[in-house]
């Protein structure tokens, strides 16, 4: 594990232009003591989980990336292909916010989200594979980031606190939800009244994006699925090389 975390830390420094000082910004203060980076594994194993869906609203659902594919998430070419810096800037996060990296994997974005919300903010790092969360924790400890809460979710519940989250961030992951309606219901409950869910998905309309169609979505399909589940498109960001970035708020009831 130690042989892996140092190169990844160096890679993030190069890709995002981070310095040791930037990482220190999320270190604990006298007012906010160290919070142990321990994975919350307390899922409700008695909860009934329906069989996974294969299709939703005319779209084939992709399988979840296995944790053995985690190195692809931190590939050297990712910044060039996806312009991760621009994506993060478009989120316009503020210090002190509570955000969730849903489907966080090994934490490629989680660590930078933690830096952006600062020591007074919180990042819930949620994944359904404990192996991914273990990789994330190792990297967060190496980076001395203590405002991350790793959470083992389920395919029907990300296990987020009710009404406390400012932004739920889903990067190339929503199209893998095997139970979209249940997950969207839980996400709705987790958001503050002004909270948002933000989806980054590879553009299904663009044949030039070199991703398998199963792992791409069109804007129309995203809206077709989220709007009936209580979300309203507030803005979208179209400047990324390969992805849509779509910001949804809660629909007024």
pLDDT in tens, 20-73: 334 444 555 555 556 779 999 999 999 999 999 999 999 999 999 888 877 768
* Other Cβ atoms closer than 10 A to 64: 18
Q: What is the per-residue pLDDT for 31?
A: 58
Of the chain, the percentage scoring pLDDT greater than 70 comes to: 85
Spatial CA neighbour of 20 closest among 32, 31, 12: 12
The model's pLDDT over 89-141, given as tens digits with 9 standing for 90+, comes to 999 999 999 999 999 999 999 999 999 999 999 999 999 999 999 999 999 99
Q: What is the per-residue pLDDT for 42?
A: 95
β-strand partners of 59? 56
Instruction: Return the SS3 of 223.
Output: helix
Q: What is the per-residue pLDDT for 9?
A: 39
Q: What is the per-residue pLDDT for 29?
A: 54
Check which CATH number belongs to the domain holding 161 and give it: 3.40.50.150
The parent domain of residue 231 ranges over 2-250
Write out the DSSP string of 88-135: HHHH---TT-EEEEET-TT-TTHHHHHHHH-TTSEEEEEES-HHHHHH
C-beta separation of 123 from 148 below 8 A: yes
Question: Could you tell me which residue, 7 or 158, shows the higher pLDDT?
Answer: 158
The model's pLDDT over 205-219, given as tens digits with 9 standing for 90+, comes to 999 999 999 999 999
Split into its structural domains, the chain has a count of 1
Q: What is the per-residue pLDDT for 175?
A: 98
Q: If pLDDT is split at 50, 70 and 90, which confidence band does 198 have?
A: very high
Q: What is the per-residue pLDDT for 4?
A: 35
C-beta separation of 226 from 184 below 8 A: yes
Q: Residue 215 burial by CB count (10 A; 0-12/13-18/19+): exposed, middle or buried?
A: middle
Instruction: Return the SS3 of 191.
Output: strand
Distance (Å, rounded) from C-alpha 192 to C-alpha 210? 36
Cα dihedral across residues 5, 71, 131, 108: positive or negative = positive
Q: If pLDDT is split at 50, 70 and 90, which confidence band does 16 have?
A: very low
Question: Could you tell me which residue, 81 or 42, shows the higher pLDDT?
Answer: 42
Interacting residues of 172 by C-beta distance below 8 A, sequence separation 6+: 103, 200, 201, 202, 215, 243
Distance (Å, rounded) from C-alpha 205 to C-alpha 222? 12
Residue 8 has pLDDT above 60, yes or no: no
Residue 156 has pLDDT above 60, yes or no: yes
Q: If pLDDT is split at 50, 70 and 90, which confidence band does 81 have?
A: confident
Please count the CA atoms within 13 angstroms of the CA of 25 that sit on its side-chain side: 16
Please count the CA atoms within 13 angstroms of the CA of 93 that sit on its side-chain side: 32
């Amino acid at each position: 594990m130690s042989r892996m975390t140092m190169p990844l830390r160096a890679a993030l420094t190069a890709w995002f232009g981070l310095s040791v000082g930037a990482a220190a910004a999320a270190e604990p203060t006298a007012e906010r003591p160290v919070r142990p980076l321990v994975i919350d594994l307390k899922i409700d194993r008695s909860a009934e989980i329906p069989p996974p869906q294969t299709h939703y609203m005319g779209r084939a659902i992709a399988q979840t990336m296995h944790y053995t594919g985690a190195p692809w998430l931190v590939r050297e070419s990712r910044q060039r292909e996806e312009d991760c810096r621009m994506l993060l800037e478009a989120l316009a996060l503020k210090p002190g916010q509570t955000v969730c990296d849903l489907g966080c994997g090994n934490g490629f974005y989680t660590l930078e989200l933690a830096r952006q919300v600062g020591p007074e903010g919180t990042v819930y790092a949620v994944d359904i594979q404990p192996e991914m969360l273990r990789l994330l924790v190792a990297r967060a400890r190496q980076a001395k980031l203590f405002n991350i809460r790793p959470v083992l979710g389920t395919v029907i519940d990300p296990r987020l606190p009710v009404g406390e989250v400012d932004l739920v961030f889903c990067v190339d992951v929503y199209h893998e939800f095997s139970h979209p309606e249940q997950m969207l219901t839980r996400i709705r409950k987790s958001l503050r009244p002004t909270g948002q869910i933000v989806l980054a998905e590879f553009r299904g309309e663009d044949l030039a994006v070199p991703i398998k169609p199963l792992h791409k979505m069109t804007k129309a399909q995203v809206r077709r699925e989220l709007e009936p589940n209580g979300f309203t498109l507030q803005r979208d960001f179209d400047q990324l090389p390969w992805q849509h970035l779509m910001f949804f708020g809660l629909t007024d009831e």
